[in-house]
Structure 1
Amino acid sequence: MAGKLIVGALLGVALLGAISLAVLHGRAAGPVAPPTEAKGSPWGREYFPNPELISQDGRRLRFYDDLIAGKVVAINFIFTGCGDSCPLETARLRQVQKLLGARVGQDIHFYSISIDPLHDTPAVLKQFADKFQVGPGWLFLTGDFAEISALREKLGLLAAGDDPAQLGNHNLSMIIGNQASGRWMKASPFENPYILADRLGNSLHNWQAADSHPNDYAQAPALRTPSAGEQLYRTRCSACHTLGEQHASELRAIGPDLLGVTRLRERDWLRRWLKAPDALLKQHDPLAVQLYERYNRVAMPNLRLGDVEVEALLGYLEDETERLQPRRAGSAQAAVVR
């Protein structure tokens, strides 16, 4: 999985300048036309299951009839008790939702389906969505365990022979597609948010929205090779944190901005926090509890980082802080606002 994440980060650096946010937010010359059903497409009612699912607001909806028929959709499977990948998926898709703006719920639809429906009641899912400040148009869904397992298998996210009850080993891919045109693909929810937004907002709509603000490729940023620490930040951390980015208000972070964190916190504490944040919370570490309470009780996920990865990540955060907030010779260390 790490290889896919790194590729996504590298592609994102090259393509940011080529993506029109005007189109993603619907600020185009005209509205996007509804998808047209592809003649002879195998991806119709006969292929997809149609189980009843229940949204975080208690609405009962059929998977095919109500959720995907004739729509452009993004579908992933999560469970709220997950301590590592699911929070990161949700945070990353929240960034994609922000980039797409009001189009989510109109001509693009987000669905997160629980693989732990016995625990993830509509009320639990609503609380989870609220923690991540999820906007309108994104449904969190629960239902019958056997029917959801069959749906995962049909969508290619549960291999034959895999035990659906082994929640921690669930497939980390998601499905995006246009049911009407029959275009479906697997994607990584950890992909660069601009690329995911572009696929959902443009390519899956067959580029129907005319761009009233064309891009100038001469202004696109040059591709450079990121360090190991930067790769880790972009693929693991940027879903929930900013690092003094200018677009921070556009992709508002769930957790604290990390610029200056290596000056603010003790190095040893940062090492322990990055390796096992869940353990520090269980031990009621005062700083860990303080951060948990301050940031809407969203727990820092365990990223499964080893010693080498932790040092690479801390080194990158330290270098970026020095680059953006250089210390003056002979002065006290720069102040960091939190």
Structure 2
Amino acid sequence: MALIAWQQGAVAAAPNRGADYFTNLEVVTQDGRTVRFYDDLIKDKLVVISFVFTACKDFCPINTARMTQVADVLGDALGRDVFFVSISVDPENDTPEDMKNFGEAFYDGPGWTFITGSPENLRTIGARLGNRTEERSKHINEIILGNDRTGEWARNTPFNEPDRLATIIREMDPEWRLSEAIPADQFLTLDDLRRYQLQAEPGQVLFRKLCSGCHTVGVGDRVGPDLLGVTERRDEEWIKRYIRDPAEVRRSNDLAAIELGLRYGRVQMPTLGLSDNDAADLVSYLKQQTDEITKARQEAVEQQDHHAPDQTGSNEDEEHAVGATHH
């Protein structure tokens, strides 16, 4: 797999800072367990830290969905070699149960801890990690990558390609770097990246960046519904309106929006400030993907039917063979 040969720079952190820097304050996990932040969640681990709040209607659900895609790429390594920690920036309202419901809407497996706790403790921890704002809606949307064993720390974005981000995370492990050295000719240059961006359709780029963490096209439900055939099930103008401002559609007591809320209500689609053109590009992409997938499935069925054995002919052949043995 080709990879982009650049990564965001390391941030200030030194080996052996440990609990003196990160603090060892008490926090509460989504399962209601009280743990020490450094000793139980950071010490000797390769970690990816993010900030969220469960009532967020903007980027928290998208960022978390994007990290779910990275979790899929990491596979069994998550919970064994790599650990995710999501910290509430709204501990006054985020209970452990809230954090559990929010987390399980995206990921139900090992290696990802969602934490809340006392506001004072979480403010202190957040400040040490670079989140110094008092306003929950203005918390940092970057992710923080760190290897406590080596003292390597860096920032990145959940909007990086999941494959690439998973590789950047694993590259913080020196042993993995040695065992998984990538030949230089397998890296993409910046010119390669620009060519890809120019060739990709706007709707495809938007879908990959904003939608693919919560939705698939033809692969099944994720956090939200599978969007294969959505342009056939729903009026296109309704889809565009919902893409542009889902909160407004929900407030209008729209029946389709109510039904979606009942089925996928743990995390509601956020309002992303997309334009009319953005919505039209996304609808165009979904129509194209549906047409291509439907055509491919039909061709696969026809191919299978073409190569299927003729059961009638087989029976006749068997009867002739049996008759020949009796004669």
Q: Give the structure-2-normalised TM-score.
A: 0.76
**Is contact 1:132–1:254 with CA below 8 Å preserved after alignment?**
yes
1:15 alignment partner, one of 3, 12, 23: 3
Partner amino acid for 1:78? V
What is the match of residue 45 of structure 1? Answer: 19
2:87 alignment partner, one of 113, 119, 130: 113
What is the match of residue 156 of structure 2? Answer: 187
Structure label with greater radius of gyration = 2
Cα displacement string for residues 254-304 of structure 1 (whole angstroms, at most 9, x for unaligned residues) = 222223322332111011100111222233211112122223543112122
> How does 1:1-338 map onto structure 2 within 5 Å?
14-15=2-3, 41=15, 43-158=17-132, 162=133, 164=134, 166-200=135-169, 202-208=170-176, 210=179, 224=196, 225=198, 226-244=200-218, 248=219, 253-295=222-264, 297-325=266-294
* 235 and 129 in structure 1: CA distance in 2 versus 1, 3 angstrom threshold: same
Partner amino acid for 1:285? D
**Is contact 2:2–2:186 with CA below 8 Å preserved after alignment?**
no
- Once the 2 structures are TM-superposed, how far is the Cα of residue 76 of structure 1 from its aligned partner? 0.5
Q: Name stretches of at least 5 consecutive residues in structure 2 with no aligned partner.
A: 6-13, 297-327
Cα RMSD over matched residues?
3.0
**Is contact 1:94–1:134 with CA below 8 Å preserved after alignment?**
no
What is the match of residue 22 of structure 1? Answer: none
Alpha-carbon distance in structure 1 between the residues aligned to 2:80 and 2:101 = 23
Cα displacement string for residues 117-158 of structure 1 (whole angstroms, at most 9, x for unaligned residues) = 111111211122222243122111011212222222221233
Cα displacement string for residues 100-133 of structure 1 (whole angstroms, at most 9, x for unaligned residues) = 2232222211111101111111121112222224
Alpha-carbon distance in structure 2 between the residues aligned to 1:43 and 1:194 = 30
State the 4+ residue runs in structure 1 displaced beyond 6 angstroms.
none
Partner amino acid for 1:15? L
Alpha-carbon distance in structure 2 between the residues aligned to 1:228 and 1:192 = 16
- Once the 2 structures are TM-superposed, how far is the Cα of residue 94 of structure 1 from its aligned partner? 1.7
Partner amino acid for 2:53? F
More helix by percentage: 2
Alpha-carbon distance in structure 2 between the residues aligned to 1:272 and 1:120 = 31
Q: Percent identity?
A: 39
Q: Which moved more, 1:315-324 or 1:137-146?
A: 315-324
Q: Alignment length, in residue pairs?
A: 280
| SS in structure 2 at match of 1:204 | coil
